[in-house]
């Protein structure tokens, strides 16, 4: 009997070795381990054994069963693995083909630049406010320290709708509206459209965009202005960007400065983009004129502030190296899709 059991074991293993499908393995399981299988047949003969032999043979039979079962499991596992490998191989795709997706649109480059500026300034605690595009002379000029017939009015050519209403030439008008309606501390930016009667060419557009900035608080200094603009310039143009102040004149700030950033193209060495100077002019700024503060009911002896006006279209064109501002307003799909 013992010999028989050994034989079964050897036969089963050999059969498994030869099996080439899960079905064949199942047949082997039935043949050897099934109710009518060979091992069962032998176990049925146990009764003929002596009581001493019975436990020994029983144990041996269980061991053989265990070994065959294990061999079957191993065989099945291998087969499954093999089948899976074959399937995966067959299913391989050409990964160089583009993915399937819905085309995404995009914001206009002016507005995506604006969104970046809004993020930067909101993180510094600036509120974003809006003002009307059709303004009164008072808000666009007089309250900004530019009385009628003042030579500073020549700085901008204005579109008039009536004697006293015009298309705002600067977002600075929103400074006044903000100072009239809020108490310091004030930190705000006012983005928006502005209008000047400039003929259209590669660098001029009668409609363009500005982002006005205003801070009013106790103890605000020109160093704060520079710190704020440095932070903005680094985030927009790169972390090594330098900021330079040049004295200038705006009626509503005193002192007034033009603000240059180091050219991001050449790093300040001088190139075609910066016309050899190493610097690009991006905005005008200054400390809020005491007359402007007083006109809005803010005591210039107690409070000080700074203001700046970023030319958004120019920032956009220098940032993306767009050679002609007209492209921004033409809206050719081949242009828009690049952003």
Partner 1 sequence: MKVSLEQLKRYVEINVEPLELCDRMVMAGFEVEEAINTADTMDRVVVGKILKITPHENSDHLVICQLDVGEGEPVQIVTGANNVFEGAFVPAALHNSHLPNGMNIKSGKLRGVISNGMLCSGEELKITEEEYEGASVNGILILKGEPKPGTDMREVLGLNDWIIDFKITANRPDCQSVLGIAREIGVVLGTKFVPPVPTYKTIKGDINEKISVEVKNFELCPRYIGRYVKNIKLAPSPDWMKRSLIASGMRPINNIVDITNFVMLETGQPLHAFDYRDIKGGKIIVRTAQNGEKMTTLDGKEHTLNDSMLVIADANEPSCMAGIMGGLNSEIKEDTSELFLESAKFKRDSVRRTARALGIRTESSARYERGTDIMNTKYASDRALQLIDELGAGEIYEGVIDCNNGLPEERNLSTSVQKINGLLGLEISGQKMCDILNSLHIPTTLEGDTLNSKIPSFRDDIEFMADIAEEVMRIYGYDHIKGSPMNAQVLRGTITPERALDNKIKSVLCADGMYEITTYSFISNHAIDVLGLPEEDKRNQIIYIRNPLGDEYSAMRTQLTTSMLTVLATNINRKIPSARLFEVSKRFMPKALPLTEQPDELKTLSLGLYGEGEDFFTLKGEVEQVLETCGVTAKYVRAEEPYLHPGRSAKAMVGEKVVAVFGELHPETAEKFGIDTRVYVAEVYLDMLLNTEKPLVIYQPLPKFPAVNRDLALLCDRQMPVGDLIEIITKAAGKSLENVALFDIYEGAQIPDGKKSVAFNITLRSKEATLTDEQVESIMNKVISKLSAAGAELRR
Within 47-66, the residues that bind partner 1 by CB under 8 A are none
Two tokens at 129? 């406010």
Q: Which residues of 196-224 are buried (b: 16+ CB within 10 A; e: fewer)?
A: beeeeeeeebebbbbbbbbbbeeebeeeb
Report in angstroms the alpha-carbon separations of 215 from 169, 221, 260, 299, 325.
Answer: 21, 10, 20, 14, 30
Q: Provide the minimum distance between the beta carbon of 339 and partner 1 in the complex, in angstroms, as a whole number.
A: 8
The residue among 18 and 223 lying less far from partner 1, judged by its C-beta, is 223
CB 237 within 8 Å of CB 266:
no
142 contributes a contact to partner 1 by CB under 8 A? no
Report the distance separating Cα 151 and Cα 108, nearest Å.
Answer: 36
The residue among 29 and 209 lying less far from partner 1, judged by its C-beta, is 209
Local structure of 295: helix, strand or coil = helix
165 contributes a contact to partner 1 by CB under 8 A? yes
220 contributes a contact to partner 1 by CB under 8 A? yes
The residue among 150 and 183 lying less far from partner 1, judged by its C-beta, is 150
183 contributes a contact to partner 1 by CB under 8 A? no
Concatenate the DSSP letters of all residues of 144-171 into one string: GT--TT-GGGGGS---BSSSSEEE-S-T
124 contributes a contact to partner 1 by CB under 8 A? yes
156 contributes a contact to partner 1 by CB under 8 A? no
State yes or no: cis peptide before 185, omega within 30 of 0.
yes
Specify the stretch interacting with partner 1 by CB under 8 A; choose among 9-17, 32-40, 46-54, 159-167.
159-167
148 contributes a contact to partner 1 by CB under 8 A? yes
Q: Which of 32, 141, 195, 303 binds partner 1 (CB under 8 A)?
A: 195
Report in angstroms the alpha-carbon separations of 13 from 23, 70, 83, 96.
Answer: 16, 10, 21, 46
144 contributes a contact to partner 1 by CB under 8 A? no
Report the distance separating Cα 311 and Cα 291, nearest Å.
Answer: 25
Report the distance separating Cα 185 and Cα 26, nearest Å.
Answer: 84
107 contributes a contact to partner 1 by CB under 8 A? yes
Report the distance separating Cα 211 and Cα 189, nearest Å.
Answer: 6
Report the distance separating Cα 292 and Cα 145, nearest Å.
Answer: 6
Specify the stretch interacting with partner 1 by CB under 8 A; choose among 38-46, 61-69, 126-134, 171-179.
126-134
The residue among 121 and 237 lying less far from partner 1, judged by its C-beta, is 121
Local structure of 189: helix, strand or coil = strand
102 contributes a contact to partner 1 by CB under 8 A? yes
Q: Which of 160, 181, 240, 323 binds partner 1 (CB under 8 A)?
A: 160
132 contributes a contact to partner 1 by CB under 8 A? yes
Q: Which of 247, 272, 297, 321 binds partner 1 (CB under 8 A)?
A: 247
207 contributes a contact to partner 1 by CB under 8 A? yes
151 contributes a contact to partner 1 by CB under 8 A? yes
Total of residues contacting partner 1 (CB under 8 A): 88
């Amino acid at each position: 009997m013992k010999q028989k059991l050994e034989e079964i074991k050897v036969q089963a293993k050999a059969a498994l070795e030869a099996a080439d499908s899960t079905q064949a393995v199942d047949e082997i399981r039935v043949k050897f381990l099934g109710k009518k299988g060979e091992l069962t047949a032998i176990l049925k003969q146990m009764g003929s054994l002596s009581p001493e032999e019975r436990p020994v043979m029983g144990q041996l039979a269980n061991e053989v069963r265990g070994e065959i079962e294990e061999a079957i499991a191993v065989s099945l596992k291998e087969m499954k693995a093999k089948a899976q490998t074959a399937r995966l191989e067959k299913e391989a795709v050409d990964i160089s083909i583009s993915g399937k997706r819905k085309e995404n649109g995009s914001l206009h480059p002016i507005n995506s630049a604006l969104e970046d500026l809004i993020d930067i300034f909101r993180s510094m605690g600036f509120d974003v406010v809006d003002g009307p595009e059709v303004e009164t002379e008072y808000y666009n000029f007089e309250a900004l320290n530019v009385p009628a017939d003042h030579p500073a009015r020549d700085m901008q050519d204005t579109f008039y709708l009536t004697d006293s209403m015009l298309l705002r030439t600067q977002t600075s008008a929103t400074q006044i509206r903000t100072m009239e309606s809020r108490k310091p501390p004030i930190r705000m930016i006012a983005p928006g459209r502005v209008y000047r009667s400039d003929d259209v060419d590669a660098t001029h557009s009668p409609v363009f965009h500005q982002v006005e900035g205003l801070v009013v608080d106790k103890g605000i200094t020109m160093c704060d202005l520079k710190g704020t603009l440095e932070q903005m310039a680094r985030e927009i143009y790169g972390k090594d960007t330098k900021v330079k102040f040049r004295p200038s004149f705006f009626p509503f700030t005193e002192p007034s400065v033009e603000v240059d950033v180091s050219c991001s193209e050449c790093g300040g060495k001088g190139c075609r983009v910066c016309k050899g100077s190493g610097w690009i002019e991006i905005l005008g700024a200054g400390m809020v004129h005491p007359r402007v503060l007083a006109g809005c009911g803010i005591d210039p002896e107690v409070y000080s502030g700074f203001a700046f006006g970023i030319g958004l279209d120019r920032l956009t064109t220098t940032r993306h190296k767009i050679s002609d501002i007209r492209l921004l307003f033409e809206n050719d799909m081949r242009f828009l899709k690049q952003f």
